[in-house]
Chains A and B, each alone.
Chain A
Amino acid sequence: MTAAEGAIQEVRNQRLRLLARNARSFASRFATRTDGVVGLAVLIVFAVLALKPELFVGQLETATRATGHAFDPPSSAHIFGADDLGRDVLNRTVHGARISMTIGLLATLITVVIGTLVGIIAGYVGGVVDTVLMRVSDFFLVLPTFVLAIILAPVLIEVVGVDASVFGIRATLLVIIVVIGLTSWATTARIIRSQVLSLKGRMFVDRARVIGAGPGRIMIAHILPNVMNLIVAQAVLTFAVAVFTETTLSFIGLGDPFQPSWGEILNSAETSGAPGLGAWWYIAPPAVAVVLVVLAFTLVGNALDDLLNPKSATRR
Chain B
Amino acid sequence: MSEDAVADQPLDERPEIPKEVAVPEDATIAAGEAAKIRRGRQWPLPKLAVPGAPLLEVKDLQTHFKLRQGWVRAVDGVSFGLADGEALGLAGESACGKTTTALSLMKLLPSNGRIRGGSVELFGIDLVPKSETAMQRYRWRELSIVFQGAMNALNPVLRVRDQIAEPIQYRLGQPEAAARQRAEELLDLVGIPKKRSGSYPHELSGGMRQRAMIAMALACDPAIVIGDEPTTALDVMVQAQILELLERLRRELGLSLILITHDLSVLAETCDRVLVMYAGRVAEEGPTSRVFTAPRHPYTRKLVGSFPNINADRRTLEVIQGQPPDLLTPPPGCRFAPRCEFVMPVCREVVPPEVRFSDGVRVACHLFPKSDIEDVAGAIPYPETPPTSTAGPAATPAASA
Interface residues in chain A, defined as those with a beta carbon under 8 Å from any beta carbon in chain B: 1, 3-4, 7-8, 11-12, 14-15, 18, 202-204, 206-208, 210-213, 217, 221-222, 225-226, 228, 310, 313-314
Alpha-carbon separation in the docked complex, A207 to B153 (Å): 6
Nearest chain B residue, comparing its CB with the CB of A310: B156
- B155 & A212 in contact (Cβ 8 Å cutoff): no
B198 within 8 A of A: yes
| Among candidates A211, A225, A226, residue contacting B166 with C-beta atoms closer than 8 Å | A211
**Distance between B175 CB and nearest chain A CB, rounded to angstroms:** 9
| Among candidates A4, A11, A210, residue contacting B139 with C-beta atoms closer than 8 Å | A210
B136 within 8 A of A: yes
**Distance between B142 CB and nearest chain A CB, rounded to angstroms:** 13
Interface pairs (27), CB distance under 8 Å: A1-B1, A4-B2, A8-B177, A8-B181, A11-B177, A11-B180, A11-B184, A14-B198, A18-B159, A203-B153, A204-B152, A204-B154, A207-B147, A208-B166, A210-B106, A211-B167, A211-B171, A212-B140, A212-B167, A212-B171, A222-B155, A225-B157, A226-B156, A228-B157, A310-B156, A310-B157, A310-B202
| Among candidates A1, A8, A18, A313, residue contacting B198 with C-beta atoms closer than 8 Å | A18
Nearest chain A residue, comparing its CB with the CB of B180: A11
- A4 & B166 in contact (Cβ 8 Å cutoff): no
* CB-defined contacts of A15 to chain B, threshold 8 Å: 198
Chain A at the B interface: mostly helix, strand, loop or mixed? helix
Q: Which chain B residues in 120-172 approach chain A with CB under 8 Å?
A: 136, 139-140, 145, 147, 149, 152-159, 166-167, 170-171
B310 within 8 A of A: no
Alpha-carbon separation in the docked complex, A3 to B155 (Å): 31
- A203 & B198 in contact (Cβ 8 Å cutoff): no
* CB-defined contacts of A1 to chain B, threshold 8 Å: 1
Interface residues in chain B, defined as those with a beta carbon under 8 Å from any beta carbon in chain A: 1-2, 106, 108, 136, 139-140, 145, 147, 149, 152-159, 166-167, 170-171, 177-178, 180-181, 184, 198, 202, 216, 219
Alpha-carbon separation in the docked complex, A204 to B149 (Å): 10
* CB-defined contacts of B219 to chain A, threshold 8 Å: 211
- A313 & B202 in contact (Cβ 8 Å cutoff): yes
* CB-defined contacts of B216 to chain A, threshold 8 Å: 211
* CB-defined contacts of B156 to chain A, threshold 8 Å: 204, 226, 310
Nearest chain A residue, comparing its CB with the CB of B159: A18
- A212 & B180 in contact (Cβ 8 Å cutoff): no
- B178 & A8 in contact (Cβ 8 Å cutoff): yes
Nearest chain A residue, comparing its CB with the CB of B108: A210
**Distance between B388 CB and nearest chain A CB, rounded to angstroms:** 36
Nearest chain B residue, comparing its CB with the CB of A204: B155
* CB-defined contacts of A206 to chain B, threshold 8 Å: 108
- B157 & A212 in contact (Cβ 8 Å cutoff): no
* CB-defined contacts of B154 to chain A, threshold 8 Å: 204, 207
- A222 & B167 in contact (Cβ 8 Å cutoff): no
- A212 & B202 in contact (Cβ 8 Å cutoff): no
* CB-defined contacts of B181 to chain A, threshold 8 Å: 4, 7-8, 11
- B152 & A203 in contact (Cβ 8 Å cutoff): yes
* CB-defined contacts of A217 to chain B, threshold 8 Å: 170
Assuming the contacts A18-B198, A204-B153, asked whether A210 and B180 have C-beta atoms less than 8 A apart, the reply is no
Nearest chain B residue, comparing its CB with the CB of A11: B180
Alpha-carbon separation in the docked complex, A221 to B157 (Å): 10
**Distance between B367 CB and nearest chain A CB, rounded to angstroms:** 41
Nearest chain B residue, comparing its CB with the CB of A202: B152
**Distance between B170 CB and nearest chain A CB, rounded to angstroms:** 3
**Distance between A8 CB and nearest chain B CB, rounded to angstroms:** 4
* CB-defined contacts of B198 to chain A, threshold 8 Å: 14-15, 18
- B202 & A314 in contact (Cβ 8 Å cutoff): yes
Alpha-carbon separation in the docked complex, A310 to B203 (Å): 12
* CB-defined contacts of B147 to chain A, threshold 8 Å: 203, 207
Alpha-carbon separation in the docked complex, A79 to B178 (Å): 64
Alpha-carbon separation in the docked complex, A189 to B321 (Å): 53
- A208 & B177 in contact (Cβ 8 Å cutoff): no
- B158 & A221 in contact (Cβ 8 Å cutoff): yes
* CB-defined contacts of B140 to chain A, threshold 8 Å: 210-212
Assuming the contacts A11-B181, A228-B157, asked whether A3 and B1 have C-beta atoms less than 8 A apart, the reply is yes
Assuming the contacts A210-B106, A314-B202, asked whether A226 and B167 have C-beta atoms less than 8 A apart, the reply is no
Alpha-carbon separation in the docked complex, A226 to B166 (Å): 17
* CB-defined contacts of A225 to chain B, threshold 8 Å: 155, 157-158
